[in-house]
Amino acid sequence: MAIRKIVVLGDPNAGILRQKAKKVSRFDASIERLVKDMWDTMRDAPGVGLAAPQIGVPLRVLVAEYEDDRAVLINPEITKAEGEERGTEGCLSIPGYQGNNIRRATKITVKGRNEKGTPVKITATGHFARILQHEIDHLDGILYLDRLDRKEDLIEVSEEEEEETAPEGASVAKR
């Protein structure tokens, strides 16, 4: 079990949060280790999703877990997106804040590979779809801050309130 340090805005290496991550081309033991560490780090935070750039690794890898849904996605691509809904999001890399009224597709289909390199296809709706879209954004250097329609939608939150936000917040996952 290895918990890695989460990069937050303001850190000297926070630039990685704004870069486009690279595709994984070799599925070897280092990728399996990375995914394991990402699960450990995400659950320790705790959060419901984590993208590799958030632990300082510029690769297109994400993990997500919400209620009965769980996914490891490497080189993910959204192949279908339907509907639109607004919701609140927090981010482990932006502690102390949450964004309201963030628009995401209601239902998405994502293709990618798992840590073994096996092709996977996931269809997600609602909250889990929001988490996946948030994490895929991370792989392109996009933060929820970029998706705010109005400045007033960004609010400061206490630690307790923060635990109730999604997608990387905690208690939503435990509910």
Tell me the three-class secondary structure of 52-91, residue by residue.
Answer: HHHHCCCECEEEEEECCEEEEEEEEEEEEEECCEEEEEEC
| Of 10 and 119, CB closest to Zn ion | 10
The CA-atom distances, in angstroms, between 154 and each of 59, 100, 121 are 28, 6, 33
Closer to Zn ion by CB, 50 or 105: give it: 50
How far apart are CB 9 and Zn ion at their closest, in Å?
10
Select which of 115, 135, 162, 168 is catalytic: 135
Let me know if 152 is a catalytic residue. Answer: no
Q: How far is the CB of 18 from Zn ion (least distance, A)?
A: 13
The answer to whether the CB of 170 falls within 8 A of the CB of 47 is yes
Tell me how far, at minimum, the Cβ of 153 lies from Zn ion, in Å. Answer: 16
> For tokens 């798992």, what's the residue?
114
For Zn ion, give the closer residue by CB, 126 or 141.
141
**Dihedral sign for Cα atoms in the order 147, 128, 67, 56:** negative
Q: Which is nearer to Zn ion, 28 or 173 (CB)?
A: 173
The sign one gets for the Cα dihedral 69, 64, 90, 77 is negative
Shortest Cβ 117–Zn ion spacing (Å): 25
**Residue with the CB atom nearest Zn ion in the bound state:** 91
The residues of the shown chain that bind Zn ion, judged by CB under 5 A, are 91, 168
160: its two tokens: 């307790």
- CA atoms of 159 and 94, how far apart (whole Å): 12
What is the set of active-site residues?
135
